[in-house]
Chains A and B, each alone.
Chain A
């Protein structure tokens, strides 16, 4: 059992996302510790990218703030190593192909592994292109997380049979960010996955409140929330950690009881 799958064992998992270095790494550190204290089961740490094509405006702006605040890949590795000493919660890096490729795939994944990171999500690397990344991930025991989307249809089984860690179920069309309602039949997407593997499925994109998180967790194994948290950080900056903690507490509870 990996650290990631362990996180789904006792109850459904609540997985918050945060952009590293928004507005600075110390705020990120305090937010992460608040999230853990308030029930987060896995943390997705975003490494900012200049042109994040899968993100809506909220996370795009967070990436901009982080980059102009001086967050670089090297600083984020250092930061993760320090943070690793303070919590056992599994970390997943979420970033874009070029951030990893340009650093050197092997060098990047080795650093991630040395920093105590359990998995990586690259939203612009689909099943067909994962080879050169996954190969290195396997070598360093970093799990390459796969995504499925409402448009995946006949691709779901192909993706599921090779998936590792958990499957990131994209709740709806479009980019990240809040939606007033999610109309995709998540249940039947999860069912297709479960027909070929017992890997956990966590739903993300557009979840912004406890009701949505609970509803999504009910039909899957967990809920991922990014933009709604990043919004709090955008609003409160360095004063965000306690507010993020309170928000996470509400959502984590809803997910754990689902």
Chain B
């Protein structure tokens, strides 16, 4: 899928200041050196299994399946990973790589705080310094995660520029990286940014689809008909899709955040409302105005509240290999409550976007068909916000 210059069709590339060019070149060289290195992989797999609780379960959601009355539904339980989301897969990989490169300090952006917590966790484990940039708005929405990061020994820097959300946190982390490169690795949290990040992050997240495939063959003796995941930047989705891309009979569906609806300005559905542009180091689809000014997007989910999408997703969309649907706040909140009541699993509001689509899709399919949906994270962090959304004030 990759071309040598980090392109996915027309998407991708390295649109960054000259100051960072040698840093990304050095990163690419280091990655190429270590990605097939047996010792590196042994260390990484040990961390995945012993520390992060991998492999994550592929759970048959019997009650949900019966309730919807159509396709058989399996949940890929990334919410059961240490730190409660898929983000740890990428952080362990990148931090280990950074350590091999001689870096002693990690910086990261975070939206919902899941990537920030995962980075802070790994930094504590590997004895590295860590600074996380987080939009001021998001720090309010996700106060518990801010506390966790500080507890883990990281500094959390509030970002007040722009909309004070994920895109501004990414911009600020990039600015920080240009000012301190020598000892610092930018642990980017999604399959976005300049090459080689979209490839590196995808490879570390591809463990999700590698496991789904094995587990599916073991449980059902065949591949699923559809795999579904939520998409902001797109890391859990690309991880869920990756090993199925060549299996043309497996449908790949990404669920974007429509916010208050794709016909409103309060949306973050990039594929459905954006157009081709260049931002945050990559060519891809972005929500933007007629003059290329990046749109102040909105979603109830801080983790999907981003105006762009990773370049490989943009490419999978272009060639028609994956389909991207938009899910509103209302639909996501309903799915959040639905899974909690039916399966006793409280999903992240991000993952609830994928579950909301499955609720619509499963009844249209037959009982001998199979859907796998990735529950990218757990929803503890969202409880206060969803309660507020329903008009209930709770104090922790």
Contacts and interface: CB of A to CB of B under 8 A. Distances in A.
Most buried by A among B174, B179, B291: B291
Interface in B277-300: 277-281, 283, 286, 288, 290-294
Interface in B155-189: 161-162, 167-168, 171, 174-175, 178-181
B277 A152 contact: no
Contacts of B288: 98, 102
Contact of A101 (B174, B181, B280, B292): B292
B15 A125 contact: yes
A57 B162 CA distance: 11
A51 B277 CA distance: 13
Contacts of B175: 53-54, 56, 174-175
B167 A51 contact: yes
B22 A155 contact: yes
B38 interface: no
Given A97-B278, A101-B292, A173-B179, A53 B22 contact: no
Given A98-B277, A98-B286, A128-B14, A170 B19 contact: yes
Nearest to B286: A98
Given A53-B174, A53-B280, A99-B292, A127 B18 contact: yes
B207 to A, nearest CB: 30
A152 B283 CA distance: 23
Most buried by B among A53, A127, A173: A53
B101 interface: no
A125 B283 CA distance: 11
Nearest to B178: A174
A129 B22 contact: no
A175 B21 contact: no
A149 to B, nearest CB: 4
Most buried by A among B19, B181, B281: B19
Interface residues of B, number: 38
* Interface of chain B, main secondary structure: mixed
Nearest to A74: B291
For chain A, give the interface size range.
35 or more
B224 interface: no
A78 to B, nearest CB: 14
B291 A173 contact: no
B15 A175 contact: no
Contacts of B162: 50-51
Contacts of A228: none
Contacts of A150: 19
A124 interface: yes
A183 interface: no
Nearest to A146: B18
Contacts of B278: 96-98, 101, 124
A42 B61 CA distance: 67
17 contacts: A50-B294, A53-B171, A53-B175, A56-B175, A98-B277, A98-B286, A98-B288, A124-B278, A128-B5, A128-B13, A149-B18, A150-B19, A151-B18, A152-B22, A170-B17, A174-B19, A175-B175
